[in-house]
Chain A
Amino acid sequence: MSRKNYWFLVVILFAVLSIFICTNIPFQLGLDLRGGSQLTLEVQPTEEIPKITPNEIEGVKAVLDKRVNGLGVSDSQLQTVGTNQLLLELPGEQDPSGAAKVLGETALLEFRIQRKGTEVKLRDLQSQRNSLESIIKLLEDNNNSAQLIKEININKEINQLFENYSINSDQILNIDQFNLLRNKINSDIADLFDATPLTGKYLINAGRRQDQNTNKWEVTLSFNNEGGELFADLTKSIAGSSRLLGIVIDGNSYSEASVGKQFETAGITGGAATISGNFTADDARNLEVQLRGGALPLPIDIIQIRTIGPSLGTQNIRLSLFAALTGLLFVGIFMILIYKLAGFVAVLALSFYSLFTLSIYALLPVTLTLPGIAGFILSIGMAVDANVLIFERLKEELLNGNTLIRSIDASFKNAFSSIIDGHLTTLISCITLFYLGTGFVKGFAATLGIGVVLSLFTALTCTKAILKFLMSFQGLRKISNFINPKLIPSPSINVQ
């Protein structure tokens, strides 16, 4: 094996390796290509914590991380942006407002004890709640039917309730207004109870299950040791009495439980409790996620939401890929027409270049987005430029009457400084963009930057290696094979 073909073998080896990587490691597609939601959350300062430090951001992120995992969206990503923002990507999630609700709410869990002398009031409120709940259930079962709402609308008692809670009931009511009313009643119920030291901070886990008999969803809680003791004390103090234990979340009472006489001596031990409000499966899941994640140390504000339908994405990726490939095909035809065999060498080198680049994308991995694909296409432009620079120099060297072999060496040497300058200036803007840009600007910078570095590599090694390899064949070693002789008017190179 001669020395000049040694490099050619290395290039082929790299290419085979790249094909292996590209076919075995899947590419990471960005949200714009696979569909999903992207939320930007801003951490808000409070009176107690007026300045947001990286430490606080980490705290918020940890809680959000738990909640995101609880949502069960696979491949979700949560990253810090700037000094007070978090970027959350939920691939495949088409309902970002539901997710946003779960993420943004604090879910403060409290256990309260009923105040003495509130029995009558509590019974009234509970019966109001019960009738509201049956209306809500009825509406849900009948798909929020307008006819049904009309019937309920003329119900005097219900109308009175809406008036009492100053909920605007001038228009036709809908299920949301009934839910709102129920929450207001729940909040009034909570006000009949006194706070205790037992809160959500003693929770170690939350879960949900469906009651075998009633088919209703329940949220189960388990406390740490300290919380378990507090819970035992609490239940002991009201065991056998008429006072109830209220489970209050964010100021609304979800359920009020009595504690049986049998717990008078020790209270309910074992550190576990169940909340059996009127939960749907979704309610129970959301509550579970919020409770398990703990309370957010700082409030968050959702400042941006993007949702992209999956087929809009796939359509875009197909169109862009098609456009890019067609463009490259034209570039290839152009190069071969202009430069003959040298142009063919360039096409080969560019194919290797594309393979290397794609395998680096898969390996790193680079998340491919539409701007990322644009960056890739542009980096191919850079790679073509390097080849054009070399071949133009080659033509000049041949014009000056040099031999083919010497011309090839000289062309690489002479084009080097232009190639390096052009690539480095582009690389400088890529690095700037990568550090200062956010989101997809970063993706663009990453793909273009990788492209620039690899283009430098392929232009200086692959093109040369392939050229030299082809030159080792006697039959090809004519100038007229490599460069279109018509483009070189000098008689000195008319090799017949």
Chain B
Amino acid sequence: MKSNFNVQLYKNRKVVWLISFLLCLISVIGMLICLRSTSIQAPLNLGLDYTGGTQITLERSCTDDCITLNTSDISNNIIALKGQDKNFISNTPPNLSSSQIQLLDNSKLISIRLPFLSAAQSESVVSAVNKSFGPFINKNTSVEIIGPSLGEQLLKSSLISLFFAFLGIALYINFRYDRRYSFLALFALLHDILIVCGVFSWLGYLFNVEVDSLFAVSLLTIAGYSVNNTVVVFDRIREKSLIDNKLSFKYQIDKAVSATLTRTLYTSFTTLLPLICILIWGGSTLYWFAFSLVIGVIAGSWSSIALAPSLLSITSQKDFD
């Protein structure tokens, strides 16, 4: 009986490995560049959640035609608080000159990044900017202050939860299949996560995109998704090798991948659809979250269709009996 697809994975395995290798290489290079760059100094451009600091978002009360503001004017306005405002007269005043100011949504939103401030200090900043560049819609003002210790803690807890999630998944596959499947599924997962991190290190380096705690959430989701996809293919390979054990293992892998290809493509597509909708219509809050998931879903489909099964074919069939 003919199948819809006839993938010749074994024949093309070296192309698959080369593509994955290059993608991982580019990712590692991106992370190294970020690590070496003086402004980032980490493999990824870590955001407020991880480094600590203050983020103030102000919404201007202009409707369609907001006059563009000069960000350095705002910056100078904030620096002027030093020594003038009672909240900034102390022995160790925060460094106000390191503020980063961005205009968002056609100059409607002003986003100000500052070092860690106290609640009263951040209020002084809000009222100073309000005085010179207002009026603002006060009730839409958003202030986030994250202490440096909390940021460190978040980073640590994100890494710990990633580690334990991987461990749990590996143990489960080990229990359901065997050690080699579990190893390859983890390998595929790390490949996907590496690529997503790589994309974000380049985005961080080139466009100053930062990773926040939602990014850690997306990595975990990608991990779950990637393993899910790989397992479905592995499940079919195992089934094929039990039924058609006269065929060579390499051929069984090709057949299993062909049989699950439609499903993997459909599933990836239906998962991508809502994500792409969030990218287009979801507003700014979830934009980079959805973006990292899109990259992860594409990488995950690639690794489960091509990378993991082709690596499985290196080993001989009897290793899996």
Q: Does B298 contact A (CB under 8 A)?
A: no
Q: Does B223 contact A (CB under 8 A)?
A: yes
B160 touches A436 (CB 8 A): yes
Nearest Cβ on chain A to B35's Cβ, whole angstroms:
25
A425 touches B1 (CB 8 A): no
Q: Does A363 contact B (CB under 8 A)?
A: no
Residue of B119, B176, B227, B293 contacting most chain A CB atoms (<10 Å):
B119
- A396, B259: Cα distance in complex, Å: 9
Residue of A35, A96, A302, A426 contacting most chain B CB atoms (<10 Å):
A426
Question: Which single member of A303, A380, A431 contacts B149 (CB below 8 Å)?
Answer: A303
Q: Does A441 contact B (CB under 8 A)?
A: yes
* Listed stretches A203-211, A326-334, A473-481; interface member: A326-334
B235 touches A417 (CB 8 A): yes
Report the tally of A-B residue pairs with Cβ distances under 8 A. Answer: 225
A 313-344 contacts with B by CB, 8 A: 315-316, 319-320, 322-324, 326-328, 330-331, 334-335, 338
> Known interface pairs A304-B145, A319-B282, A377-B274. Does A421 touch B221 (Cβ–Cβ under 8 Å)?
no
A425 touches B278 (CB 8 A): no
- A428, B161: Cα distance in complex, Å: 11
Residue of A330, A380, A384, A421 contacting most chain B CB atoms (<10 Å):
A421
Q: Does B143 contact A (CB under 8 A)?
A: yes
B59 touches A309 (CB 8 A): yes
B 134-190 contacts with A by CB, 8 A: 137-147, 149-150, 153-154, 157-158, 160-161, 164-165, 168-169, 172-173, 176
Closest to A99 in B: B119
Question: Which single member of B141, B150, B161 contacts A303 (CB below 8 Å)?
Answer: B150
Q: Does B231 contact A (CB under 8 A)?
A: yes
Closest to A452 in B: B224
Chain A interface size range: 35 or more
SS class, residues of chain B in contact with chain A: helix
CB-CB under 8 A from B277, the residues of chain A are: 323-324, 326-327, 330
Nearest Cβ on chain B to A229's Cβ, whole angstroms:
41
CB-CB under 8 A from B232, the residues of chain A are: 389, 418, 421-422
A421 touches B231 (CB 8 A): yes
CB-CB under 8 A from A421, the residues of chain B are: 173, 176, 228, 231-232, 235
Q: Does B266 contact A (CB under 8 A)?
A: yes
Closest to A438 in B: B157
> Known interface pairs A334-B270, A429-B220, A448-B221. Does A399 touch B168 (Cβ–Cβ under 8 Å)?
no
Residue of A324, A326, A374, A418 contacting most chain B CB atoms (<10 Å):
A374
Closest to A100 in B: B119
Q: Does B217 contact A (CB under 8 A)?
A: yes
B270 touches A320 (CB 8 A): no
Closest to A85 in B: B150
A418 touches B235 (CB 8 A): yes
B119 touches A97 (CB 8 A): yes
CB-CB under 8 A from A384, the residues of chain B are: 267, 270-271
A305 touches B145 (CB 8 A): yes
- A316, B260: Cα distance in complex, Å: 37
Closest to B238 in A: A417
> Known interface pairs A334-B273, A425-B173. Does A311 touch B146 (Cβ–Cβ under 8 Å)?
no
A436 touches B278 (CB 8 A): no
CB-CB under 8 A from B282, the residues of chain A are: 319-320, 323
A428 touches B172 (CB 8 A): yes
Question: What are 12 A-to-B residue pairs whose CB atoms are below 8 Å?
Answer: A100-B119, A302-B118, A303-B150, A306-B143, A385-B270, A388-B266, A418-B232, A423-B228, A426-B224, A428-B168, A430-B224, A441-B217
User: 6 nearest interchain CB pairs?
Assistant: A327-B274, A303-B147, A309-B140, A97-B119, A422-B228, A327-B277
Chain B residues with a Cβ under 8 A of chain A: 1-2, 4, 57, 59, 84, 86, 89, 118-120, 122-123, 137-147, 149-150, 153-154, 157-158, 160-161, 164-165, 168-169, 172-173, 176, 213-214, 216-217, 220-221, 223-225, 227-229, 231-232, 235-236, 239, 259-260, 262-263, 266-267, 269-271, 273-278, 280-283, 285-286, 289-290, 293
